[in-house]
Every structure is written in structure tokens, then in C-alpha cells.
């Protein structure tokens, strides 16, 4: 999970008295929630990610399966996002993953479409073919059908390939189809946010070209 802290409106806070320990408490809460806290105002996750990309002069392309283009939609809802969003591809079928992203049929057969290995190949494929700085991929099972004991509904694999290296993660989400898709998109955006903040460094690496 990730959180956004909003300040009280003046109308809400007019009867609340400040107390000396207040600022210290806020600092402690801020420090404790630092990994999950992405905004202290009304900024949405896609706006925060956009600012991080723009401030680093980085471009992003997204390869989506289970989210059906929701990540790209959210990113492009932000005015001026054309500065950092290059494209989004919905590679829903295995055929699309192979044709559009260069995922090997052997990888799909050996590990299945919902796997860290395929997510990794999707991220590398979208980055290479789009010639962008950062490639993000998401593949999973949004339900309500299609799950198994080994790969239940709500299992989502994501990967990032970028100037600071490659990283893949697996998540388990709960809820109905729409909820799983939204939570996946939120986690995908937060994945990019943490990748940029945690790994830092400078743009450019030998693998990018």
C-alpha cells in the first residue's frame, strides 16, 4: 500500500489548537511512513511519478496485459505528460507479447504469461523497441476466472528496465476485477516512483540504445 497525507482545511481546523508536540509527531509519522508516503497534498500517484520523470528528463513506455492500458491512461490524464510518456502497448495475448515486445515463445511456454520472467522480458522489450529510458510491464490475472492454486486470481508480476538497472516484483491483490486492475495500476506507478527514488543515479547506461 501507499499513502497520501492531506492537510486539514481551514474550516476543519479552526477549532483545533496547535500543541508543542504536534510538529514532532508529524515528523515521526512522516519518517515511519516514508517508504509508502508519496504525497502530503492532493497530488495523485500519476502526477508524482510524472514530476519525477520530468525532473530527470526521462521517458517512459508501458507494456500492459492485465491492466488493459489503465497505467498509460492514468499517466496521460496529467496535462503535459507528453514530455515523459512515449507510448503504451496492451499486449493482452501471448501472440501480442511475442510480436510487439519480442517475448520468446519458449519463455512463455516454460514460465507462463503471468511470471516474473515474462514481465522482465516485456519490460526489456518495450524499452528496447520504444527507445525510451524506462520500460514498465505488468502481467497478471484480474479474474474472476483464470486463477489456479499456483497462480491465483490477483497475482500480478511487474518489471522495470531502465537506466538504473532491471527489477521485477510479484504482488497479490484482492477484490473484484476492477479493483484488482486499479490496485495493480497503483502499484505499478509506485514501482516506478520507488525505482527512481531508491536507485537514483544518472541517466544513461550501456544497455540503453
Instruction: Enumerate the domain spans of the chain.
Output: 3-38, 44-199
Domain 44-199: CATH superfamily, name plus number? CinA-like (3.90.950.20)
Q: How many CB atoms lie within 10 A of CB 54?
A: 15
Average pLDDT in the chain:
87
Burial 77-101 (b: 16+ CB within 10 A, else e): ebeebeebbbebbbbeebeebbebb
Pair 112, 121: CB distance under 8 Å: no
- Its pTM stands at 0.81
Pair 130, 167: CB distance under 8 Å: no
Residue 192 grid coordinates: 516506478
CA 22 to chain centre: 33
Band the pLDDT of 42: cuts 50, 70, 90: confident
148-188: per-residue pLDDT in tens?
999 999 999 999 999 999 999 999 999 999 999 999 999 99
Residue 38 grid coordinates: 508519496
Lowest mean pLDDT among 80-89, 104-113, 190-199, 200-209: 200-209
Amino acid at each position: 500500500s501507499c499513502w497520501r497525507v492531506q492537510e486539514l482545511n481551514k474550516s476543519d481546523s479552526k477549532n483545533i489548537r496547535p500543541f508543542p508536540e504536534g510538529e514532532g509527531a508529524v515528523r515521526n509519522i512522516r519518517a515511519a511512513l516514508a517508504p509508502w508516503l508519496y504525497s502530503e497534498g492532493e497530488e495523485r500517484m500519476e502526477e508524482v511519478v510524472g514530476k519525477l520523470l520530468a525532473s530527470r528528463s526521462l521517458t517512459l513506455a508501458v507494456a500492459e496485459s492485465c491492466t488493459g492500458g489503465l497505467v498509460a491512461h492514468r499517466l496521460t490524464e496529467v496535462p503535459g505528460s507528453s514530455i515523459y510518456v512515449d507510448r503504451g502497448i496492451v499486449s493482452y495475448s501471448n501472440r501480442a507479447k511475442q510480436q510487439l515486445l519480442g517475448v520468446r515463445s519458449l519463455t512463455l511456454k516454460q514460465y507462463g504469461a503471468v511470471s516474473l520472467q515474462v514481465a522482465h522480458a516485456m519490460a526489456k522489450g518495450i524499452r528496447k523497441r520504444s527507445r525510451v529510458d524506462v520500460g514498465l510491464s505488468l502481467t497478471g490475472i484480474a479474474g474472476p476466472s483464470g486463477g489456479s492454486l499456483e497462480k491465483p486470481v490477483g497475482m500480478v508480476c511487474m518489471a522495470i528496465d531502465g537506466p538504473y538497472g532491471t527489477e521485477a516484483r510479484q504482488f497479490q491483490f484482492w477484490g473484484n476485477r476492477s479493483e484488482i486492475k486499479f490496485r495493480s495500476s497503483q502499484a505499478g506507478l509506485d514501482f516506478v516512483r520507488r525505482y527512481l527514488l531508491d536507485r537514483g543515479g544518472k541517466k544513461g547506461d550501456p544497455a540503453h540504445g
